[in-house]
Structure 1
Amino acid sequence: MTYAESFALGIARLGIIDPSDTGNQPLWSTGGTVGAVFNGEIYNHREVACWLGIDAASGSDGRVIPQLLEDHGSSELWRLRGMYAFAAVDIRRQRIILARDPLGIKPLYWRRLADGTVAFASELRALAAMAPHGSLSPLAVARFLHLGALGGDESPFDDIEAVPANTWIEIDTAGERARGTIVGTDRLGGPPPLGAPEKDVPLRAALLDTVAVHLGADVPTALLLSSGTDSAAVAWAARELGTTLTCLTVAPGRDSGEAPAAAAIATAFGHRHQVVPTDGNNLDIESFFRHMQRPTIDGLNTWIVCRAVRDQGFKVALSGLGGDEALGGYRHFQYLPALRLLRAVDGLPIISRRWVDRRLNSLPARVPAKAKVLVTFGGPRTAWDLDLLHRSVWSPERALACAGLAGTTANYLHAPDELGEDCSSAALTRAELEIYLGATLLPDADGFSMASSVELRVPFVDPCFLAAGLHAAAHGRLGKVRFARAVGDPHLLRTARAPKQGFTVGVRQKMNGGPLASHVRALADPAAAVWRHVDPLVGREVLENDGRRWAEIWALASLNAWLDSLDADDACGRSGYSPGAVLK
């Protein structure tokens, strides 16, 4: 912790690069005018240090941040490659600079307290516990019910702000003075960071490059290995780079789940393999909700896996997270060609179109409701709208009505201008990056890995690799098989062709008599916290509907449990976390 007359900087350090005392934070520029604390990793810190003219051979990777700011201000942050959220204090100009990496892998929040103090933290609950927090945004509630998570750049409270991905903000004692983007409006465009390959590099080379930089650590590194293509590709790349990893597979037992196929992959690529057994029943659910930074319906798997990594004694683990988004691996990518056909059907004369819709309404109940929405008149006809439909938990109309916003249209329902009417594979990849990866997977990965003192590294979530994937998919969906062919390894190709399994704890089953059942039963209480923010009449229609979907109920139950955990923090006057810094 460092104090000065008008500011304080502090951090709970995990210690990955230069874990000795010399790597402790805050880190200071050579001129002593800029100090910084940061969360994450700067993978190209040696290249940036050389460019800055400071010691490139040793020291914390974060040492380049204050020096970059002292020498060049915020204009050269695009040279950094990594996942990061940082706060820096410029003593000379009496201001703090907050910044977040271009893809938003690491979170950052800030708020202004009643006495004018500006506080920041990488964990939302730390700021919420510093003083009575503001009300919950109805739009945040609606978006959560609709998609199971908040927006990636969103805070649920009206007096706490999230620093958007790819953004720097300068704040002085008079208030916010400036903000800007790090790499421009297209986060996958612009010049590559120092030491990174060009954007049109072949996929094989791009994979080797991103895995190489993500392997850099001064502590042992594990690989979360499933039976799927993404983690297998990381295992292949590590072998090609001459690195032997310990591969961890979370499964019910050595001979069940994904364990046998994962063991075969580890053997094929010359890595060690360990199965971490779990049946998903002996879960500390209360601790899970206490460490849930933002409401989510999709974080229990991540919580279990990160605790498994911690229990095996690792601080760093590589993950295949982001591979499905980067490579077009999800099933709904297959529906893109149908959008053009449906546009043609929409152009039929009105009488013919009504006949088509009547036929669709007569389809049997076993046809999924989302499939019916897709093919009806007015259904999704762009990549953005297709992704919203695929990721929806509640319908947007019901979610907005439940949050008291009936008759309104939320901004996030509209595609960004650069996507417009696009229905290409590249457009769907970009939609996935915004709607699911940036809003659900990355916040869950960071929050629950940090709760276990584990750094989860995601080689597929790298601007250089994503740009290479988009380039390769310019003429149609990439997919896992095409990706494996581009890599050129027979073992990886066999994995890509095998049926997908995936690790799951079975939330639906655990809601029915399992460890999650009590949180579902809590919704029957008229005084439950969730009914302060959700219309109980609309909400109970969901609970009592015979055709209800488990995810709709789990959205209510998880939101209620998250609100209960916040109420418990408020009652105790604690959060278990500390704020990162303050500026008065």
Structure 2
Amino acid sequence: MCGIVGVFDLQGKRAFSRELISQMNETQHHRGPDEGGIHIEPGVGFGHRRLSIIDLSSGQQPLFNEDGSVVVTYNGEIYNFSELSDELKACGHIFKTHCDTEVIVHAWEEWGEACVERFRGMFAFAIWDRNQQTLFLARDRLGIKPLFYAVLPDNSFAFSSELKALKILDNLPREIDPTCIEDYFTFGYVPEPKTIFKNVYKLRPGHTLLIKHGDSVPEPQEYWDIPFTPVNYVSEAALKEELIQRMREAVNIRMVAEVPLGAFLSGGVDSSAIVAMMAQQQEKPVHTCAIGFDVKQFNETEFATQVAVQYKTDHVEEIVGSDDFDLLDTLADLYDEPYADSSAIPTYRVCQLAKKHVTVALSGDGGDEHFAGYRRYRWHMNEEKIRQILPLSIRKPLFGALGKLYPKADWAPRVFRAKTTFQGLARSSVEAYLHTVSLLSDEQRDSLFSDELKTALKGYKSIETFNYYVNKSPTKDPLALIQYLDMKTYLVGDILTKVDRASMAHALEVRVPLLDHKFIEWVSGLPSNVKLKGQEGKYILKKSLEPYLPNDVLYRPKMGFGVPLAKWFRGPLKGKIQQSLLGDTIRRSGLFNMNYVEKVITQHQSGARDYSVIIWSLLMFNAFLERELEAAA
């Protein structure tokens, strides 16, 4: 993996300083500690930090075509680069390296904007074509690799792999977007294409941006979407066989590297499946690593060990203490904007562990989203049966009243939390799903936000993020629709963001076979009843894997990758919570109702309620605000 930066004069040919590009580039040194490169010409400046994986002796970036008229800065891996290289050579293109980067410049020359449709992999890149006076940016189909950009007040355009590189620019707009505060306390992250700052954006997954010198910046163009084209199959046995073949192929093409390669092994279905496929395709033991916890309810290492023993992997694991909260300040620096997934802590630790042994690690991310593995899919579809029987005009007053009357039971298992179910049934299908995935409910956000913030929101609600994707969704199937929503929001905004920043902090490349776009195109077309069969999520995936993995791994309850927040906030972090969330930064922001904040802290620390999610979200938002104040000082 790598880090990329660049600036572009939209109208003129100003000379960008090498020092500026270098400063932007060095903020991302962790993404590519092996080498750095800069290219500057009138009106354009590119920077690159390299983590060498393939063709270690060459492939330095920015990289050029034969006559130097096309230059690219690129972050990612294109797994079919060898076949594309052969095709491009047959078209007359001359290659100087054996790396995937050079394929991009020649593919641009040969196919123009359509080049991205040829690439199989994860990528974010920018191309400057001097002859056409064109800047071209692209991001991979699923958003595995990040790409930020902004149009600056001086009529220049800037981009980078991480927001921190853009923060180097003195004229970067740093006004907080109030709609992103609503989004953050709903989702736990700021969803694409927005960032926490007005007029600073993320390029959406599966999109490109073509800017002609002298023109204004147009809207990005989508080049790929999840198709949900129905798949025909003759039998379940044939379907299982094809699934394994396709998964094996997606894993195989991601095992090419000139550096040590291994895998994360959590003990869950997805990571275990990846390890099983890897072990069958190489003679030497697979390097695997796992993180465990000293609290049993969060510890999955016994299941990871079962798989490691079965496949004789070279396995290492470390136990993380339940007081591993020293990373709080590190996380705020890592993510650049508010980010509230507390599993970022163990993810950071497993990447740290992996880097001691390998430079590339395969991950099982993506399996829950497109095989319907989350428990919330089951809950949603159970509620959907009632929603399909009773119209909203009946459900809304009936279940709305029950939802208000029924006591909240944070302590109870989900099946006994009728209040949440009643609240879901009082909503439309999409509103109910948003209610299910929201960190803070509509009522909690209303209580938390100050009158000033509510005024600034001008009626904006986070449901607009879901509605955008509902309106463009290729499927209306109830289960497939919420999977689509997750793949467009949660997967990219939370899961992939978490893994990218945590892995890149340790100069570790993570590859995700289950997010291979060809594999996803096929899986998306499978009928929903083979993904969620009755109450069994990932049905067809688990059935396919029965010859390869123990039943304990396949059919045990899902645990997740959590940390004991509630315990921390009543114990070792009690003082920090009081100091941070009742301190000057939060108060002076004018964004929150401080009476409600005090109530949340008091009730949580007394044990009356579990408000750990609200407290963590506020804690991470406060850490972001403190860094913004430091930058402004």
Q: TM-score, normalised on structure 1?
A: 0.86
The SS at the match of 1:394 is coil
* In 2, Cα distance between equivalents of 1:121 and 1:47: 29
* In 2, Cα distance between equivalents of 1:2 and 1:536: 50
What is the aligned counterpart of 2:178 among 135, 138, 152? 138
The Cα of 1:144 is off from its aligned counterpart by 0.2
**Residue identity (%):** 24
What is the aligned counterpart of 2:622 among 560, 563, 570? 560
1:67–1:176: structure 2 CA closer, same or farther, 3 Å change rule?
farther
Partner of 2:569: 511
The Cα of 1:172 is off from its aligned counterpart by 3.9
1:496–1:36: structure 2 CA closer, same or farther, 3 Å change rule?
same
Partner of 1:289: 332
What is the aligned counterpart of 2:500 among 432, 438, 446? 446
* In 1, Cα distance between equivalents of 2:353 and 2:337: 22
8 Å contact kept, 1:42–1:81: yes
Partner of 1:94: 133
The Cα of 1:70 is off from its aligned counterpart by 1.8
Partner of 1:485: 543
* In 2, Cα distance between equivalents of 1:428 and 1:354: 25
1:176–1:15: structure 2 CA closer, same or farther, 3 Å change rule?
farther
CA-to-aligned-CA distance 1:234-256 (integer Å, 9 cap, x gap): 01111222353110011247999
The SS at the match of 2:49 is coil
When structure 1 is superposed on structure 2, of 203-212 and 339-348 the one drifting more is: 339-348
* In 1, Cα distance between equivalents of 2:552 and 2:425: 40
Partner of 1:574: none
8 Å contact kept, 1:84–1:100: yes
8 Å contact kept, 2:195–2:202: yes
Does the alignment pair 1:436 with 2:490? Answer: yes
* In 2, Cα distance between equivalents of 1:134 and 1:316: 35
Q: Which amino acid aligns with 1:248?
A: C
The SS at the match of 1:77 is helix
The Cα of 1:83 is off from its aligned counterpart by 0.9
* In 2, Cα distance between equivalents of 1:258 and 1:344: 38
8 Å contact kept, 1:224–1:318: yes
* In 1, Cα distance between equivalents of 2:376 and 2:51: 38
8 Å contact kept, 1:107–1:122: yes
* In 1, Cα distance between equivalents of 2:599 and 2:475: 35
The SS at the match of 2:489 is helix
When structure 1 is superposed on structure 2, of 81-90 and 337-346 the one drifting more is: 337-346
8 Å contact kept, 1:224–1:317: yes
Q: Which amino acid aligns with 1:501?
A: M
The Cα of 1:558 is off from its aligned counterpart by 0.5
Q: Pairwise mapping of residues 54-69 of structure 1 onto structure 2 (< 5 A)?
A: 54=93, 59-69=98-108
8 Å contact kept, 1:318–1:459: yes
CA-to-aligned-CA distance 1:307-363 (integer Å, 9 cap, x gap): 2222x142211111222112111111212442343225534996x986666556554
* In 2, Cα distance between equivalents of 1:184 and 1:217: 27
* In 2, Cα distance between equivalents of 1:512 and 1:51: 62
When structure 1 is superposed on structure 2, of 231-240 and 536-545 the one drifting more is: 536-545
The SS at the match of 2:123 is strand
Q: Which amino acid aligns with 1:26?
A: P
Does the alignment pair 1:122 with 2:171? Answer: no
1:511–1:317: structure 2 CA closer, same or farther, 3 Å change rule?
farther
Does the alignment pair 1:303 with 2:332? Answer: no
8 Å contact kept, 1:221–1:315: yes
8 Å contact kept, 2:185–2:445: yes
Aligned-pair RMSD on alpha carbons? 3.3
Partner of 1:196: none
Partner of 1:195: none
Partner of 1:388: 434
* In 1, Cα distance between equivalents of 2:424 and 2:62: 57
Partner of 1:260: 302
1:223–1:469: structure 2 CA closer, same or farther, 3 Å change rule?
same
8 Å contact kept, 1:519–1:558: no
Q: Which has the higher contact order (CA 8 A, sep 6+)?
A: 1
The SS at the match of 2:108 is helix
* In 1, Cα distance between equivalents of 2:396 and 2:470: 29
Partner of 1:149: 189
Does the alignment pair 1:275 with 2:317? Answer: yes
The Cα of 1:381 is off from its aligned counterpart by 4.0
Q: Pairwise mapping of residues 299-448 of structure 1 onto structure 2 (< 5 A)?
A: 299-310=344-355, 312-344=356-388, 346-347=390-391, 362-366=405-409, 371-376=418-423, 379-382=426-429, 384-396=430-442, 398-399=444-445, 401-402=449-450, 403-404=453-454, 405=457, 407-410=459-462, 411-414=464-467, 416-419=470-473, 422=476, 424-448=478-502
Q: Which amino acid aligns with 2:491?
A: L
Q: Which amino acid aligns with 2:558?
A: K
Partner of 2:265: 225
What is the aligned counterpart of 2:612 among 535, 538, 550? 550
CA-to-aligned-CA distance 1:397-442 (integer Å, 9 cap, x gap): 5536553226444421425224499453222211221231111111
1:372–1:284: structure 2 CA closer, same or farther, 3 Å change rule?
closer
Q: Any stretches of 5+ residues in structure 2 without a counterpart? A: 1-37, 231-238
Does the alignment pair 1:241 with 2:281? Answer: yes
1:74–1:378: structure 2 CA closer, same or farther, 3 Å change rule?
same
Partner of 2:234: none
* In 1, Cα distance between equivalents of 2:240 and 2:141: 19
* In 2, Cα distance between equivalents of 1:397 and 1:48: 53
The Cα of 1:443 is off from its aligned counterpart by 1.2
Q: Which amino acid aligns with 1:374?
A: T
8 Å contact kept, 2:192–2:203: no
Q: TM-score, normalised on structure 2?
A: 0.80
Q: Any stretches of 5+ residues in structure 1 without a counterpart? A: 191-198, 572-584
8 Å contact kept, 1:253–1:275: no
The Cα of 1:222 is off from its aligned counterpart by 1.8
8 Å contact kept, 2:190–2:493: yes
CA-to-aligned-CA distance 1:260-303 (integer Å, 9 cap, x gap): 32122012123211112321535343222212233111122322
Partner of 1:5: 42
CA-to-aligned-CA distance 1:449-471 (integer Å, 9 cap, x gap): 11221112121222222223223
Q: Which amino acid aligns with 2:159?
A: F
The Cα of 1:69 is off from its aligned counterpart by 1.2
When structure 1 is superposed on structure 2, of 545-554 and 73-82 the one drifting more is: 545-554
The SS at the match of 2:335 is coil
8 Å contact kept, 2:585–2:622: no
1:63–1:353: structure 2 CA closer, same or farther, 3 Å change rule?
closer
Partner of 1:35: 71
The SS at the match of 2:471 is coil
The Cα of 1:33 is off from its aligned counterpart by 1.7
CA-to-aligned-CA distance 1:207-261 (integer Å, 9 cap, x gap): 1121112222111112110111111100111122235311001124799932232
Q: Which amino acid aligns with 2:492?
A: G
1:104–1:530: structure 2 CA closer, same or farther, 3 Å change rule?
farther
8 Å contact kept, 1:149–1:297: yes
* In 2, Cα distance between equivalents of 1:516 and 1:468: 49
8 Å contact kept, 1:183–1:189: no
